[in-house]
Amino acid sequence: MVCAFRGWNDAGEAASSAVSFLAEALDARRFARIDSEEFFDFQANRPCVSFGEDEKREIVWPSVELYEAQAPRAPRDLVLIQGVEPSMRWRGFTSQIVDLAEALGVQVVVSLGALLGDVPHTRPVAMTGHASDPALMERLGIQPSSYEGPTGIVGVMHAACADAGLPSVSLWAAVPHYVAAASNPKAALALVRRVEGLIGVSVDVSELESAAADYERQVGLAVQSDPDIQAFVERLEQAAQSDALSSPEDVPSGDMIAREFQRFLRQRGREGK
């Protein structure tokens, strides 16, 4: 079972994009939807009005959907879960997921997340994670997370799986905080690659690779056009090599750079249109 949720756990939409890509690449079929009435605050996650095929207005509610997929040459089939992070009753929500996983004979639950970090867009995507047992942790081959602090539905679900004795893995990709508002296919690709190696699934990622290359090129052009942003990214690159930031007083703050960078990207979007 591989799952991701849009919202707090999904910087740059990397985690949700990774699961969506897997679903499309494997021609997954939706077989269930979790009732949103019990778990969502509709003032925080409002439903949308749209027109159906018969031009009839209908309400589209925020939801969490479950898909089944058969992966070629993989040892097992996949259950994919994607949707919006629920607003309330997280223990009841994760209990439903765990019960379903046990009923379907799921062997491992893989939750995907993405976080904002002081990482440059030019480097390979930094990955952290944790697993319910040492053998899974060894298979990950990544730096274990030492994070302590607020968590999202991904962290709660990982804990629920561990309490139920269900093997689980949580994978997190770091996204540059100075380009947080843009979708990040590079981080999504890194998550897909990790999932492939972890559970023995192989998909054609050429489309995602192309999107990741285009993302890196466009961000690079934007960075080169602003000396302040370029100086900040260079400092992050130096920090990535030395694994320690030098004194930040001589460069603009990350928050200021992020605001200016988002403004620049919005301007480029208008010019492109």
70-98 pLDDT, tens digit per residue, is 988 778 899 999 999 999 999 999 999 99
Which of 112-126, 174-188, 248-262 shows the lowest per-residue confidence on average (mean pLDDT)?
Answer: 248-262
What pTM was computed for the model?
0.84
pLDDT surpasses 50 at 195: yes
Average pLDDT over every residue of 227-250: 71
Cα gap 89→84, rounded to integer Å = 14
Q: What average pLDDT does this structure show over 219-246?
A: 79
Looking at residue 243, its pLDDT comes to: 61
What pLDDT is attached to residue 148?
A: 82
* Cα–chain center distance at 48: 23
Q: Which bin fits 251, alpha (ψ -120 to 50), beta or left (φ > 0)?
A: beta
| pLDDT level of residue 248 (50, 70, 90 thresholds) | very low
Q: Is the pLDDT of residue 202 over 50?
A: yes
Tokens 């089939």 locate to: 77
Query: For 2-204, which CATH superfamily applies?
Result: PAC-like subunit (3.40.50.10900)
Does 177 have pLDDT greater than 50? yes
pLDDT of residue 134: 83
- pLDDT tens for each residue of 143-156: 777 778 888 999 99
Start and end residues for every CATH 3.40.50.10900 domain found in the chain: 2-204
Query: What are the two backbone dihedrals, phi and then psi, of residue 166, each rounded to the nearest 5 degrees?
Result: -95, 120
Q: In angstroms, rounded to a whole number, what is the distance separating the alpha carbons of residues 88 and 47?
A: 16
Share of the chain above pLDDT 90, in %: 54
48 pLDDT band (50/70/90 cuts)? very high
Flag whether pLDDT at 182 surpasses 90: no
The Cα–Cα gap between 116 and 137 comes to: 23
What share of the chain in percent tops pLDDT 70?
89
Structure tokens at 152: 């999202």
| pLDDT tens digits for range 5-35 | 999 999 999 999 999 999 999 999 999 999 8
End-to-end alpha-carbon separation of the chain, Å?
Answer: 40
Provide the 3-class DSSP secondary structure of residue 83.
Answer: strand
